[in-house]
Amino acid sequence: MINSMTGYGQAQGEVHCVSYLIEIKTLNHRYFKTIVKLPELVAFLEEDIEKLLRKNLSRGTVNYVLRLKNASVNALFDIDETALQAVVEKLSRAGSSAGVKGAIDIGNLLSLPGIIKPASPDKEVAEQIKKVVLELSQEAIDKVKQMRSAEGDFLEADLKKHCSAIEEDLERIRARSDIVLQEYVTKLKQRVDALLAEAKLKLDEETLAREAAVFADRSDISEEIARLDSHLLQFVQCCQANDQAGRRLDFIGQEMLREANTIASKASDTEIIRRVVDIKCRIDRIKEQVQNVE
Protein backbone atom coordinates (compact mmCIF):
# COMPACT_ATOMS: atom_id res chain seq x y z
CA MET A 1 0.00 0.00 0.00
CA ILE A 2 1.22 3.49 -0.79
CA ASN A 3 1.29 6.51 1.51
CA SER A 4 0.67 10.15 0.74
CA MET A 5 3.25 12.75 1.75
CA THR A 6 0.55 15.07 3.10
CA GLY A 7 -0.35 14.72 6.76
CA TYR A 8 -0.96 16.46 10.07
CA GLY A 9 -0.57 15.43 13.68
CA GLN A 10 -0.81 17.13 17.08
CA ALA A 11 -0.04 16.09 20.64
CA GLN A 12 -0.03 17.89 23.98
CA GLY A 13 1.36 17.04 27.42
CA GLU A 14 2.66 18.59 30.61
CA VAL A 15 5.78 18.34 32.74
CA HIS A 16 6.74 20.53 35.72
CA CYS A 17 3.63 22.69 35.22
CA VAL A 18 4.69 23.53 31.65
CA SER A 19 2.40 22.44 28.81
CA TYR A 20 4.10 21.24 25.60
CA LEU A 21 2.12 21.46 22.36
CA ILE A 22 3.57 19.74 19.29
CA GLU A 23 2.31 20.19 15.72
CA ILE A 24 3.68 18.29 12.71
CA LYS A 25 2.70 19.08 9.14
CA THR A 26 4.08 17.21 6.14
CA LEU A 27 3.98 18.19 2.48
CA ASN A 28 5.26 16.64 -0.72
CA HIS A 29 8.93 17.06 -1.61
CA ARG A 30 11.31 15.18 -3.86
CA TYR A 31 13.56 14.29 -0.93
CA PHE A 32 13.33 14.31 2.90
CA LYS A 33 13.49 17.77 4.45
CA THR A 34 12.85 18.84 8.03
CA ILE A 35 12.04 22.26 9.47
CA VAL A 36 12.21 22.08 13.27
CA LYS A 37 11.19 25.07 15.41
CA LEU A 38 11.87 24.83 19.15
CA PRO A 39 11.82 27.24 22.09
CA GLU A 40 15.21 27.92 23.65
CA LEU A 41 14.19 25.89 26.70
CA VAL A 42 14.19 22.64 24.69
CA ALA A 43 16.67 23.52 21.95
CA PHE A 44 18.93 20.74 23.24
CA LEU A 45 16.42 18.20 21.86
CA GLU A 46 16.73 19.20 18.21
CA GLU A 47 19.05 16.34 17.25
CA ASP A 48 16.88 13.73 19.00
CA ILE A 49 13.74 15.07 17.33
CA GLU A 50 15.48 15.05 13.93
CA LYS A 51 16.45 11.39 14.41
CA LEU A 52 12.91 10.46 15.44
CA LEU A 53 11.43 12.13 12.35
CA ARG A 54 13.89 10.39 10.02
CA LYS A 55 13.19 7.05 11.68
CA ASN A 56 9.45 7.29 11.03
CA LEU A 57 9.18 9.28 7.78
CA SER A 58 11.19 8.71 4.62
CA ARG A 59 10.15 11.46 2.22
CA GLY A 60 8.53 14.89 2.13
CA THR A 61 8.87 18.25 3.86
CA VAL A 62 8.27 17.90 7.60
CA ASN A 63 7.37 21.03 9.56
CA TYR A 64 7.81 20.39 13.29
CA VAL A 65 6.76 23.08 15.78
CA LEU A 66 6.90 22.85 19.58
CA ARG A 67 5.17 25.51 21.66
CA LEU A 68 5.19 26.11 25.42
CA LYS A 69 1.99 27.04 27.23
CA ASN A 70 1.52 28.19 30.83
CA ALA A 71 5.28 28.41 31.27
CA SER A 72 6.54 30.52 34.15
CA VAL A 73 9.07 33.28 33.58
CA ASN A 74 11.69 31.29 35.50
CA ALA A 75 11.22 28.37 33.10
CA LEU A 76 11.85 30.50 30.04
CA PHE A 77 14.99 32.49 30.82
CA ASP A 78 17.62 33.41 33.41
CA ILE A 79 19.18 36.79 34.14
CA ASP A 80 22.92 36.84 34.64
CA GLU A 81 22.88 39.02 37.75
CA THR A 82 26.67 39.12 38.02
CA ALA A 83 26.99 40.47 34.49
CA LEU A 84 24.15 42.95 35.08
CA GLN A 85 25.77 44.24 38.29
CA ALA A 86 29.10 44.66 36.51
CA VAL A 87 27.45 46.72 33.77
CA VAL A 88 25.66 48.93 36.32
CA GLU A 89 28.93 49.56 38.23
CA LYS A 90 30.78 50.48 35.05
CA LEU A 91 28.05 52.89 33.98
CA SER A 92 28.03 54.50 37.46
CA ARG A 93 31.78 55.00 37.38
CA ALA A 94 31.65 56.37 33.85
CA GLY A 95 28.86 58.78 34.83
CA SER A 96 30.80 60.01 37.87
CA SER A 97 33.98 60.51 35.83
CA ALA A 98 32.09 62.51 33.19
CA GLY A 99 30.06 64.42 35.73
CA VAL A 100 26.82 63.07 34.38
CA LYS A 101 24.00 62.26 36.75
CA GLY A 102 20.93 60.21 35.92
CA ALA A 103 18.99 57.04 36.70
CA ILE A 104 20.02 53.82 35.02
CA ASP A 105 17.16 52.09 33.16
CA ILE A 106 17.43 48.39 33.98
CA GLY A 107 14.97 47.52 31.18
CA ASN A 108 17.37 48.87 28.57
CA LEU A 109 20.27 46.96 30.10
CA LEU A 110 18.41 43.66 29.68
CA SER A 111 18.74 43.98 25.91
CA LEU A 112 22.54 43.88 26.14
CA PRO A 113 24.23 40.65 24.97
CA GLY A 114 24.80 38.12 27.72
CA ILE A 115 22.44 39.63 30.29
CA ILE A 116 19.43 37.41 29.51
CA LYS A 117 20.18 33.78 28.75
CA PRO A 118 17.86 30.88 27.96
CA ALA A 119 17.01 28.85 31.01
CA SER A 120 19.01 25.64 31.21
CA PRO A 121 17.25 22.84 33.11
CA ASP A 122 19.37 20.62 35.32
CA LYS A 123 20.19 17.09 34.20
CA GLU A 124 17.27 15.40 35.94
CA VAL A 125 14.69 17.89 34.66
CA ALA A 126 16.22 17.79 31.17
CA GLU A 127 15.78 14.00 31.05
CA GLN A 128 12.15 14.32 32.12
CA ILE A 129 11.52 16.98 29.47
CA LYS A 130 13.25 14.83 26.84
CA LYS A 131 11.14 11.78 27.71
CA VAL A 132 7.86 13.69 27.56
CA VAL A 133 8.70 15.64 24.37
CA LEU A 134 9.84 12.53 22.47
CA GLU A 135 6.74 10.60 23.56
CA LEU A 136 4.50 13.45 22.43
CA SER A 137 6.48 13.70 19.18
CA GLN A 138 5.93 9.99 18.51
CA GLU A 139 2.21 10.42 19.22
CA ALA A 140 2.00 13.31 16.72
CA ILE A 141 4.03 11.34 14.16
CA ASP A 142 1.67 8.35 14.49
CA LYS A 143 -1.26 10.64 13.71
CA VAL A 144 0.62 12.01 10.69
CA LYS A 145 1.27 8.47 9.46
CA GLN A 146 -2.40 7.52 9.89
CA MET A 147 -3.48 10.50 7.82
CA ARG A 148 -0.82 9.80 5.17
CA SER A 149 -1.97 6.17 4.99
CA ALA A 150 -5.64 7.12 4.64
CA GLU A 151 -4.89 9.61 1.88
CA GLY A 152 -2.61 7.04 0.27
CA ASP A 153 -5.60 4.69 -0.08
CA PHE A 154 -7.46 7.36 -2.06
CA LEU A 155 -4.37 8.00 -4.21
CA GLU A 156 -3.96 4.30 -4.92
CA ALA A 157 -7.60 3.92 -5.94
CA ASP A 158 -7.32 6.90 -8.28
CA LEU A 159 -4.07 5.67 -9.82
CA LYS A 160 -5.49 2.18 -10.42
CA LYS A 161 -8.59 3.69 -12.02
CA HIS A 162 -6.42 5.52 -14.57
CA CYS A 163 -4.35 2.38 -15.20
CA SER A 164 -7.51 0.37 -15.92
CA ALA A 165 -8.73 3.02 -18.36
CA ILE A 166 -5.35 2.96 -20.15
CA GLU A 167 -5.52 -0.84 -20.41
CA GLU A 168 -8.93 -0.59 -22.07
CA ASP A 169 -7.64 1.93 -24.61
CA LEU A 170 -4.60 -0.28 -25.27
CA GLU A 171 -6.84 -3.24 -26.05
CA ARG A 172 -8.77 -1.17 -28.57
CA ILE A 173 -5.53 0.11 -30.10
CA ARG A 174 -4.21 -3.44 -30.37
CA ALA A 175 -7.38 -4.60 -32.12
CA ARG A 176 -7.38 -1.55 -34.38
CA SER A 177 -3.71 -1.96 -35.38
CA ASP A 178 -4.49 -5.36 -36.92
CA ILE A 179 -7.14 -3.79 -39.15
CA VAL A 180 -5.07 -0.75 -40.18
CA LEU A 181 -2.69 -2.76 -42.40
CA GLN A 182 -5.53 -4.48 -44.24
CA GLU A 183 -7.23 -1.13 -44.86
CA TYR A 184 -3.97 0.38 -46.09
CA VAL A 185 -3.39 -2.43 -48.62
CA THR A 186 -6.96 -2.17 -49.89
CA LYS A 187 -6.79 1.63 -50.28
CA LEU A 188 -3.36 1.45 -51.92
CA LYS A 189 -4.53 -1.12 -54.46
CA GLN A 190 -7.68 0.86 -55.27
CA ARG A 191 -5.73 4.07 -55.73
CA VAL A 192 -3.07 2.52 -57.95
CA ASP A 193 -5.67 0.67 -60.01
CA ALA A 194 -7.50 3.94 -60.59
CA LEU A 195 -4.31 5.72 -61.68
CA LEU A 196 -3.32 2.90 -64.03
CA ALA A 197 -6.77 2.19 -65.43
CA GLU A 198 -6.43 4.62 -68.34
CA ALA A 199 -3.00 3.26 -69.22
CA LYS A 200 -4.41 -0.27 -69.20
CA LEU A 201 -1.63 -1.49 -66.91
CA LYS A 202 -1.89 -3.99 -64.10
CA LEU A 203 -0.35 -3.58 -60.68
CA ASP A 204 2.37 -6.07 -59.89
CA GLU A 205 1.22 -8.07 -56.85
CA GLU A 206 4.82 -8.45 -55.69
CA THR A 207 5.29 -4.68 -55.69
CA LEU A 208 2.07 -4.24 -53.72
CA ALA A 209 3.20 -6.82 -51.17
CA ARG A 210 6.60 -5.13 -50.80
CA GLU A 211 4.98 -1.73 -50.23
CA ALA A 212 2.60 -3.23 -47.69
CA ALA A 213 5.54 -4.86 -45.88
CA VAL A 214 7.37 -1.51 -45.69
CA PHE A 215 4.28 0.17 -44.28
CA ALA A 216 3.72 -2.66 -41.79
CA ASP A 217 7.30 -2.41 -40.52
CA ARG A 218 7.19 1.38 -40.25
CA SER A 219 3.88 1.48 -38.39
CA ASP A 220 4.27 -1.64 -36.24
CA ILE A 221 3.40 -0.68 -32.63
CA SER A 222 3.10 -4.16 -31.15
CA GLU A 223 6.35 -3.85 -29.14
CA GLU A 224 5.36 -0.46 -27.73
CA ILE A 225 1.93 -1.80 -26.75
CA ALA A 226 3.54 -4.81 -25.03
CA ARG A 227 6.00 -2.60 -23.11
CA LEU A 228 3.27 -0.16 -22.05
CA ASP A 229 1.17 -3.11 -20.91
CA SER A 230 4.14 -4.36 -18.87
CA HIS A 231 4.67 -0.92 -17.31
CA LEU A 232 1.02 -0.82 -16.25
CA LEU A 233 1.37 -4.20 -14.54
CA GLN A 234 4.56 -3.08 -12.76
CA PHE A 235 2.86 0.13 -11.67
CA VAL A 236 -0.08 -1.67 -10.04
CA GLN A 237 2.21 -4.24 -8.39
CA CYS A 238 4.40 -1.46 -7.02
CA CYS A 239 1.35 0.25 -5.51
CA GLN A 240 0.37 -2.94 -3.72
CA ALA A 241 3.78 -4.16 -2.57
CA ASN A 242 5.67 -1.05 -1.43
CA ASP A 243 4.73 1.68 1.05
CA GLN A 244 7.63 3.92 -0.10
CA ALA A 245 7.15 3.64 -3.84
CA GLY A 246 6.99 7.30 -4.90
CA ARG A 247 10.27 7.50 -6.82
CA ARG A 248 9.74 4.13 -8.53
CA LEU A 249 6.21 5.03 -9.55
CA ASP A 250 7.46 8.34 -10.94
CA PHE A 251 10.05 6.52 -13.07
CA ILE A 252 7.49 4.01 -14.37
CA GLY A 253 5.19 6.91 -15.26
CA GLN A 254 7.95 8.49 -17.36
CA GLU A 255 8.49 5.20 -19.21
CA MET A 256 4.75 4.87 -19.83
CA LEU A 257 4.67 8.33 -21.40
CA ARG A 258 7.66 7.49 -23.59
CA GLU A 259 5.94 4.41 -25.02
CA ALA A 260 2.73 6.37 -25.61
CA ASN A 261 4.67 9.06 -27.52
CA THR A 262 6.31 6.40 -29.69
CA ILE A 263 2.93 4.83 -30.51
CA ALA A 264 1.59 8.24 -31.50
CA SER A 265 4.58 8.94 -33.77
CA LYS A 266 4.38 5.55 -35.54
CA ALA A 267 0.64 5.24 -35.91
CA SER A 268 -0.98 6.69 -39.03
CA ASP A 269 -4.56 5.97 -38.04
CA THR A 270 -6.76 8.73 -36.62
CA GLU A 271 -8.63 6.37 -34.29
CA ILE A 272 -5.37 5.10 -32.76
CA ILE A 273 -4.00 8.63 -32.39
CA ARG A 274 -7.20 9.75 -30.67
CA ARG A 275 -6.93 6.96 -28.14
CA VAL A 276 -3.24 7.66 -27.59
CA VAL A 277 -4.15 11.27 -26.72
CA ASP A 278 -6.56 9.92 -24.10
CA ILE A 279 -3.82 7.65 -22.74
CA LYS A 280 -1.32 10.52 -22.52
CA CYS A 281 -3.84 12.65 -20.63
CA ARG A 282 -4.30 9.86 -18.10
CA ILE A 283 -0.55 9.33 -17.78
CA ASP A 284 -0.11 13.05 -17.07
CA ARG A 285 -2.73 12.73 -14.36
CA ILE A 286 -0.88 9.71 -12.96
CA LYS A 287 2.44 11.58 -12.92
CA GLU A 288 0.78 14.50 -11.15
CA GLN A 289 -0.69 12.25 -8.47
CA VAL A 290 2.54 10.32 -8.00
CA GLN A 291 4.29 13.54 -6.93
CA ASN A 292 2.45 13.23 -3.62
CA VAL A 293 3.33 9.57 -3.00
CA GLU A 294 5.94 8.86 -0.32
* 60/162 same-domain check: no
The answer for 190, left when phi > 0, alpha when psi is -120 to 50, beta otherwise, is alpha
Residues 56 and 173 in one domain: no
Overall average pLDDT of the 238-249 stretch: 82
User: Does residue 175 sit in the same domain as residue 68?
Assistant: no
- Same domain for 189 and 241, yes or no, is yes
Residues 65 and 176 in one domain: no
Say whether both 143 and 162 belong to one domain. Answer: no
Residue 178 CB-half CA count within 13 A: 5
Rounded to two decimals, what is the model's pTM? 0.71
Instruction: Say how far apart CA 269 and CA 278 lie, in whole Å.
Output: 15
Q: At what angle do helices 46-56 and 123-197 cross, to 10 degrees?
A: 40
| Position 231 pLDDT exceeds 60 | yes
Same domain as 225, residue 103: no
User: Is residue 115 domain-resident?
Assistant: no
pLDDT at position 77 is 55
Residue 73 has pLDDT above 50, yes or no: no
Q: Domain range spanning residue 102?
A: 81-109
Order across the sheet with 7-15: list the strands. Answer: 7-15, 18-27, 60-69, 32-37
pLDDT of residue 196: 55
Q: If you ran DSSP here, which 8-state letter would residue 243 be given?
A: S
pLDDT for the residue 100: 65
